[in-house]
Amino acid sequence: MAKIIHYRDKCIGCGVCFEMQPEIWRMSKKDGKATLLRGIEKKSIHILPLHLSIETLTIEVAKACPVKIIKIV
Amino acid sequence: MKEREIELLSPAGSFESMQAAINAGANAIYFGVEQLNMRTRSSNSFEINDLKEISGICKKNNIKCYITLNTVMYEHDMQLLLSILQEVKKQAIDAVIAADFAVIQYCKQLQIPLHVSTQANVSNIEAVQFFAQFSDVIVLARELTLKQVEHISKEIKRRNIRGVSGDLIKIELFVHGALCMAISGKCYLSLHTQNAAANRGACIQNCRRSYTVKDTETNEELVVENEYIMSPKDLSTVDILDQLIYSGVDVLKIEGRSKGADYVHEVTACYREAIDAVFANNYTEEKKTNWLERLSKVYNRGFWEGYYLGRKLGEWTNIPGSNATERKIYLGKSTNYYSKIKVGEFLIEAGNIKEGDELMVIGPAIGMAKETMNTLIVNGEKAELAAKGDKITFPFPTKLTGHDKLYKIVKP
């Protein structure tokens, strides 16, 4: 299954991912960065299996991220 | 001219640039942390944990340090903003530079000195009067002419407009560095084309590219004299600095938090000398030519004097990148320092060196230093050429820390 990878350290907190896809993104009140809901963290990189039903939208979100820190592999 | 206190404020996007600014004679530095500053994309910002060290270094060197928190702020940024401001207070950072009212309000509540950013586009005395309730320094809009600046500074004295500290409100102007076509940096080009919010520090600089104008009906391309129709040349005022100082400005600011230590050093040094020359009454044409030559060596898109003399924006660059007359090429890193004999050792990782080469060392503790390779010693023996894998040694006055990089200076 494809995965969403979020390089959270580099997030600038613009909020576009949350605006487009609130199902899996939240803006952290603690540090102002986006958080990938239910993502598993490894060395500050967050990973979540990509369900087919949200694939198209997630690709759009990855494209929209201004600092290109959302990858789909 | 009668001596009065002028503050030279230099950019510090890294510890290397900060040290370079200190060495070259800055009176103050400004820097950004985390994602709440306008250079989030282009430079590796400092982190909250660095504030203590930054404050310590600046206090030790008797210069002031200001933190920029000048992006657009969203609801979800408030906690981070507050955490940063609490640390700013704790570490006694001298002031915050901001334009968003949330930051202005928090600074007032926490009693942190505030400088109003150029992003606030302050262009008249009434706006100065308004912001004086919250701040001590106001960075004026960079689109003003010197006549307008002079009027504002005279009015401040006439109306006796005082800032939070009780002193007369100070005004600050940009003297050198990148300009963009947007008014006070409020630009939406990146956002429209790449969804990259410039006002969150993510500007992708699409104004710096070349463009054509096409008639979509006939598909015919119109002839445009210069394809870089949205990219102004850089601001440089080193040859009109006396006029800037006469206009009553208190703080002279250099742009460039995403530029390297070599840039910060050279630009700061030129403006330091120019300010001192104005007050020493020896601000000569010869010196101006020399400063402009030196400023041309580091990153630049060509120079013009901005809007200060009343010119309209018409000075466009004709290149996508830098016009610098010198480039630096990475050679290697420091590996050892022999303190007793003051000799540095470097491992060459790329390129090569021969005798007579001009070298540059950049490091967090030394800022930027230039050396000429007089006698080349490779792996302990005299040699003609050093290449990748070689260890070279040469006399170097300042202690190396192991985080220093060696470059060769070349003419492009």
- Kindly state whether residues B237 and B369 are assigned to the same domain: no
A16: contact with B, CB 8 A cutoff: yes
Residue of A nearest to B35 (CA): A12
Rounded to a whole number of angstroms, the distance from the CA of B121 to the nearest CA of chain A is 23
Residue B357: inside a domain, yes or no?
Answer: yes
User: Is A29 within 8 Å of B201 when comparing Cβ atoms?
Assistant: no
Extended beta strands in A2-49, E state: 3-7, 25-27, 34-36, 40-42, 45-49
- Kindly state whether residues B200 and B296 are assigned to the same domain: no
Note the pLDDT of residue B40. Answer: 75
- Our CA dihedral for B203, B13, B91, B48, rounded to 10 degrees, sits at 50
- Kindly state whether residues B215 and B237 are assigned to the same domain: no
Residue found under tokens 């993510």? B202
Q: Where are the alpha helices (DSSP H) in B122-227?
A: 125-131, 146-159, 189-194
User: Is B76 within 8 Å of A12 when comparing Cβ atoms?
Assistant: no
- Kindly state whether residues B170 and B245 are assigned to the same domain: yes
- Kindly state whether residues B238 and B208 are assigned to the same domain: no
Q: Is the ipTM of this complex over 0.90?
A: no
- Kindly state whether residues B42 and B157 are assigned to the same domain: yes
- Kindly state whether residues B110 and B242 are assigned to the same domain: yes
Residue ranges making up the domain that contains B400:
327-410
A31: contact with B, CB 8 A cutoff: yes
B197: contact with A, CB 8 A cutoff: yes
Of residues B274, B232, B235, B237, the one with CA closest to residue B256: B235
User: Is B195 within 8 Å of A30 when comparing Cβ atoms?
Assistant: no
Q: Is the Cβ–Cβ distance between B94 and B113 less than 8 Å?
A: yes
User: Is A29 within 8 Å of B79 when comparing Cβ atoms?
Assistant: yes
Residue B88 dihedral angles phi and psi, to the nearest 5°: -60, -45
B-chain CB neighbours of A67 within 8 Å are 40-41, 196, 202
Rounded Cα distance, B265 and B255, in Å: 13
- Kindly state whether residues B266 and B283 are assigned to the same domain: yes
Rounded Cα distance, B46 and B312, in Å: 36
Taking phi over 0 as left and psi of -120 to 50 as alpha, with beta for the rest, B167 belongs to: beta
Rounded to a whole number of angstroms, the distance from the CA of B151 to the nearest CA of chain A is 39
A28: contact with B, CB 8 A cutoff: yes
CA B335 vs CA A25, B257, B373, B386: distances in Å: 45, 28, 18, 15
Interface test with A, best of B44, B74, B76, B187 (most A CBs within 10 A): B76
Domain ranges of chain A: 3-72
Q: Is the Cβ–Cβ distance between B107 and B114 less than 8 Å?
A: yes
Interface test with B, best of A31, A44, A63 (most B CBs within 10 A): A31
User: Is B40 within 8 Å of A12 when comparing Cβ atoms?
Assistant: yes
- Kindly state whether residues B152 and B291 are assigned to the same domain: yes
- Kindly state whether residues B135 and B96 are assigned to the same domain: yes
- Kindly state whether residues B195 and B73 are assigned to the same domain: no
| Mean pLDDT, chain B cut into blocks of 10 residues (412 residues total) | 84 96 98 85 81 97 96 92 96 97 97 96 96 97 93 97 97 93 81 81 83 83 75 92 95 94 97 96 95 94 88 75 87 93 92 91 92 89 90 91 91 80
Residue B309: inside a domain, yes or no?
Answer: no
Residue B319: inside a domain, yes or no?
Answer: no
Note the pLDDT of residue B314. Answer: 65
Residue of A nearest to B77 (CA): A32
Find the CATH number of the domain harbouring B268.
3.20.20.70
**Domain count of the fold of chain B:** 3
Q: Is the Cβ–Cβ distance between B28 and B64 less than 8 Å?
A: yes
Find the CATH number of the domain harbouring B375.
2.40.30.10
Looking at 3.40.50.1370, 3.40.50.720, 1.10.8.60, 3.30.70.20, the CATH number of the domain A3-72 comes to: 3.30.70.20
- Kindly state whether residues B92 and B209 are assigned to the same domain: no
Residue type (1 letter), B276: D
A-chain CB neighbours of B75 within 8 Å are 27
Instruction: Enumerate residues 6 to 65 of chain B having a beta carbon within 8 A of any beta carbon in chain A.
Output: 34-36, 40-41
A32: contact with B, CB 8 A cutoff: yes
Q: How far apart are the first and last CA of chain B?
A: 40
Note the pLDDT of residue B3. Answer: 66
Rounded Cα distance, B166 and B158, in Å: 16
Q: Is the Cβ–Cβ distance between B337 and B345 less than 8 Å?
A: yes
